[in-house]
Amino acid sequence: MILRPSQFKKNHCHKHLLQSTLVRLKETGIKLSLDDFGTGFSSLSYLQQYPLDVLKIDRAFVKKMSDKSDTKMIVKAIISMAKTMNLKVVAGGGDTLEQVATLQKYQCTFSKVSFILSLYKSLH
């Protein structure tokens, strides 16, 4: 089959090119992560489309965990879903002991623990 320029869909081609590039990178041993999950352009469909290893939860969710219990449930659900898909989970933020404890309770794989760094700086 021959595609004429008028039949050529740019978005489909870019998407296929991205998918094949990511697969090749993964085959070389490179770990792939989806950053800022839950905000902006990182959607659930990316979890199906791309060969990811790590899901990074946007720090905006972690920051709001102290204020809103519904945000805690969203973070818990994201972590649970990612673990079910055999993805490691990194959470941005972790500025308070409560946030770090909640992330540990939900079995977040890693946390960018700003809290520990700020505590260290305040002691020195």
pLDDT at 94: 77
For 56-109, how does the pLDDT look when each residue is reduced to its tens digit (9 = 90+)? Answer: 898 888 888 877 788 899 999 999 999 999 999 988 877 788 888 889 899 988
Residue 13 lies in a domain: no
Token pair in block for residue 90: 């990194």
Residue 11 lies in a domain: no
Residue 108: which domain range?
30-123
Instruction: Say what the pTM is.
Output: 0.74
Domain count, the chain: 1
- The full length of the chain comes to 124
d(CA 79, CA 108): 6
d(CA 31, CA 50): 12
